[in-house]
Amino acid sequence: MSPTGGFADSGSPVSRVQRTRGNLGIPYLLACTILAVFAFAFNWATGHRGIFLFDHSLIFDGGWRVLQGQVPYKDFLFPHGPLTFYIQALSFRLFGVNWSAMVLPACLFNSLATLSAIRVARLLGGGSRLLALCAGLASAICFQPPFGTLNFDQTALFFDFLALQAAVESLWATGYRRSLWQLAAGASVALASLSKQNFGVLFIPVV
């Protein structure tokens, strides 16, 4: 019972998250920033070690073809969605056609996925900062670094990550903000489908 005679809501995960959303704290924000930087740097290191010709060559070739003005499904055929090729082509345009231009977008995705995992874990974990940071560390190590560069699967999973975060955010939002989060979840699933169809379509029940 609360001092006023009502039931206290301190044990409610929803209430704990709502109370902590606006009180992140400098150490926690610093830890999130460090994890994001680590995610970028760790993937940068692993992405420049070795090459898996079968998967990496597909992304390089598709990105180069799009950069040259070729149109997917018209000028060249492949069984996946075209989004990964367009992202790679944009990286080639910005940073040149080189190996680092393949690693850079994967580094960015790894950092963003890490921050998304932190946010989702904090919302679903009752506001626990330790749990959120552990989820971020696991994502920083395991999300992109096993591949190092863009990959059809990881690109789709990245947008699935964003869809999950948007769906979870909508649970604590009200009014038009909830609708915007739900719209963002649907758009992210659509982008996942444009990366790899099964990763997008099979994620629809989740959101």
- Summarised one tens digit per residue, pLDDT across range 121-177 is 999 998 899 999 999 999 999 999 988 999 999 999 999 999 999 999 999 998 999
* CB-based contact 136:130 (threshold 8 Å): no
DSSP string, the chain: --TTSSPP-TT-HHHHHHHHTT---HHHHHHHHHHHHHHHHHHHHHHTS---HHHHHHHHHHHHHHHTT--BTTTB--SS-SHHHHHHHHHHHHH-SSSHHHHHHHHHHHHHHHHHHHHHHHHHTTT-HHHHHHHHHHHHHHSSTTT-S--HHHHHHHHHHHHHHHHHHHHT--HHHHHHHHHHHHHHHHHHHHH-HHHHHTTGGG-
- Summarised one tens digit per residue, pLDDT across range 36-75 is 999 999 999 999 987 776 678 889 999 999 999 999 999 9
Q: What is the mean pLDDT of residues 84-92?
A: 96
- Summarised one tens digit per residue, pLDDT across range 107-122 is 999 999 999 999 999 9
